[in-house]
Structure 1
Amino acid sequence: MVTAAVCAVVAGYRSYAAIAEWVADVPAATALALGMAADRRPSEAMIRRLLQAMDPQLLTAAISVWLAGRATATT
């Protein structure tokens, strides 16, 4: 679900409601690729609780490490 929220933000969705809307509207194949059941998407409340419980510095660090690994793998 975190990956889906990150994808929504990258796509320009900023509020919890907008992120939930993006998650609800992605095609079934995309939902499955993001680790969600195609027929069961998280609600706005669930997304909000998850994101509020996360440490933003740890998320930033994790994404940075992942991006650095991707950059190294393609060079």
Structure 2
Amino acid sequence: MTDLDSAMIRAHATGDRAALISLYTQAADRANTLDAACFFLTHAYIFALEAGALEATPLHARLVAHGREA
């Protein structure tokens, strides 16, 4: 298991939404395919929306840029 995977599991276990936003964004940035990147971006975006985090706006913009969100 990678460090990123372990960090995601810990963040889920503790409910650390700020970490989840960051970690899923990192996973998107490291993804090998656009589909995988958008999968992780969607998760980061949802956590950002739930947290009322400022990151929601740029995450949404990335999804729109990839034709995944209107």
Which of these two proteins has the greater Rg computed from alpha carbons?
1
**Higher helix share goes to which structure?**
2
The TM-score normalised by the length of structure 1 is 0.30
| Greater RCO (CA < 8 Å, at least 6 residues apart) | 1
